[in-house]
Amino acid sequence: MPLVIDDDPYLWLEDVTDEAALAWVTERNAETEAVLAADGAFAALKERLREALDASDRIPYVTRRGAFLYNFWRDAGHARGVWRRTTLEQYRKDAPDWEILLDVDALAAAEGEKWVWDGAEVRHPDHDRALVRLSRDGADAVVVREFDLVTRSFVEDGFQVGEAKTRIGWTDADTVLVGTDFGPGSLTDAGYPRTVRRWRRGTPLEEATLVFEAEAGDVSAWGRRDTTPGYEREFVGRALDFFRGELYLLTSDATLVRIDVPEDALAYAHREYLIVTLKSDWLGHRAGSLLAFGFDAFLAGDRTAEVLFAPDGRTALAGHSWTRHHLLLETMRDVSTRIEVLTPAPAGAWARTGLTDVPALSAVSVVDTTPDLSDEYFLDVSGFLQPSTLYRGRIGADTEILKQAPAHFDAAGLTVEQFFATSRDGTRVPYFVVGPDRGPGRPGPALLYGYGGFEVSLTPFYGAVKGRAWLERGGTYVIANIRGGGEYGPEWHQAALGADRPRAFEDFAAVAADLVTRGITTPDRLGAVGGSNGGLLMGAMLTRCPELFGAIVAQVPLLDMLRFHKLLAGASWTAEYGNPDVEADRPHLRDISPYHRLSADRAYPPVLLMTSTRDDRVHPGHARKTAARLRELGHEVLLYENTGGGHAGAGDNEQAAHNNALLHTFLWRHLAPSD
């Protein structure tokens, strides 16, 4: 049996900024750099990756706000990026004339802060002010500042909120709804806002009026105003856990009217409709369905729904977006996506037509729409070997190609295939294989990626970094669509919740074994990589079936499943994994906890653990402690902790290129030593 740690000797490494802990991290980083960055090919690889990340011919994706198309852009001359905008007429050009709104590099230099852009909310319908969010070195916590889009400057004495995991949104020109850190008792146990307050311009933040309050044990509270002309309404709600919540209409006299949908459903109002996405069966409708109700009729007790989508065994809902008169429905069939146009009907079934043809084993996604203005839409179509094409259209009219990205790696001789592996319980698990033709007797280095949690779906995408760092060198890249994800809807996710989490691990292991059976690779040439919840998956592979892999990389990983709920945002994930403070959950959490399964008497493949000191979502202590434990037990392990970057692991393209060069140098060294 694996040795279990009950008296953890490495708790001191959970103190993120402790001097001794940081000194230990510095030593580990130096070891990793000495082993990997000293490799003769490292510098050249990093330069190639940085070139791809900074490429000026990437598509600058945009969001329409009024007459302008907004974009945030990083390149070699703008490491931290610029927020900018242009017109559609200019955007159609190869070299648009961009109006720079905010230069984050200049701001960081002027203020002596490592600012990282976190987005902005432009006020509707005037589009003259914005609430800009800036993160210190990539953390989830942000500062908020009001920005004048006419003068292109921050508003002196405007809305400003100090560093916190703030939620804020406009209600009118002089009022916002805000949830932030107001001091003791104002945050949930997970560290998110517990209250929603109405804050009026010119008044102190601490005097903002309370309009809604969640419980300390909830994940968060939130509030927003729908500013659609003729349908102006305010809503508040609370997230009971990661998957359950309550939604309320906040009336003009401050009365709360509960929107009576299941706690695990996603619901919102759009004009005259209430739109509900089901995660469990309800009113005779299957989990995974998308329903439309008349909003006023629903409040009056009418539960007659128009079924906009119903799942089957192979097809799931991927998303949906509104234009002014239509709804764009995104679905997946065996993880390949398509889009339909649904048109509301005053009575009876909504009309539906296909929007565009998509090549096999590719992906199409809605980039942006303008539901308050027109039937305009922007679509992105791409695939593993197919660079993105950005389309613009209006429903009922022709589409135009706005931008086409060039190829950023050599795809000659590469193919894309989809296979299905059989998991331990007989479930068919799809996976994509990208790489050279590996005929019988010609296995090669392969890299298997997975996530398997929180209903996140992994669909085809074009990755220049993966192409240059892995595919061009002769490697095969594999994505496993294991349970815990959303590829087949809520049931696919729920099959690996809590005590059933090992099903996700078994699915991933089944894909690994199937790759070997098909002759694509061999165990000593097969690597595995995953981040965050995928880092937990990597820990499971290391401790449960190490014989399947030649090397493993876990990025910003979750590894200590008996203390995750006490570290940063971990308390918000108990609905996914279970609660270590609940006696009934502790046995299975101990069983799936990689940190507690580590043993000296089992052979493990080489491991690289990567994290960030500024990750305030998944605590860097997970990676630190696991590295320390593996070292103690005599196993081969490297740790690299970036000082910034937050949960993304990198705050700019230089950091991203460095991290990816370390990762792929590590993998290539162990999986293709003679190639």
Which amino acids are annotated catalytic? 532, 647
Residues in the chain: 675
What is the C-alpha separation between 490 and 456, in angstroms, rounded? 10
- Neighbouring residues of 592: CB distance < 8 A, sequence distance ≥ 6: 501, 502, 505, 536, 540, 561, 577
In 395-467 the beta strands, taken as DSSP E runs, fall at 399-404, 414-422, 428-436, 446-449
Is there a contact between 228 and 271 (Cβ–Cβ < 8 Å)? yes
Indicate the DSSP class of residue 570. Answer: G
In 613-668 the beta strands, taken as DSSP E runs, fall at 637-642
Indicate the DSSP class of residue 350. Answer: P
Residues paired with 164 in a beta bridge: 142
- Neighbouring residues of 335: CB distance < 8 A, sequence distance ≥ 6: 418, 430, 432, 457, 458, 459, 460, 481, 487
3-class DSSP assignment, residue 627: helix
Measured distance between the N- and C-terminal CA atoms of the chain, rounded to whole angstroms: 38
User: Pick from 646, 659, 639, 661: which is nearest to 114 by CA?
Assistant: 646
3-class DSSP assignment, residue 547: helix
Place of tokens 């590099």: 105
Q: Which alpha helices (H) appear in 55-155, and where do they start and end?
A: 88-91, 104-111
* Kind and range of the H or E run holding 147: strand 142-148
Is there a contact between 161 and 133 (Cβ–Cβ < 8 Å)? no
Q: Which residue type, as a one-letter code, is found at position 244?
A: R
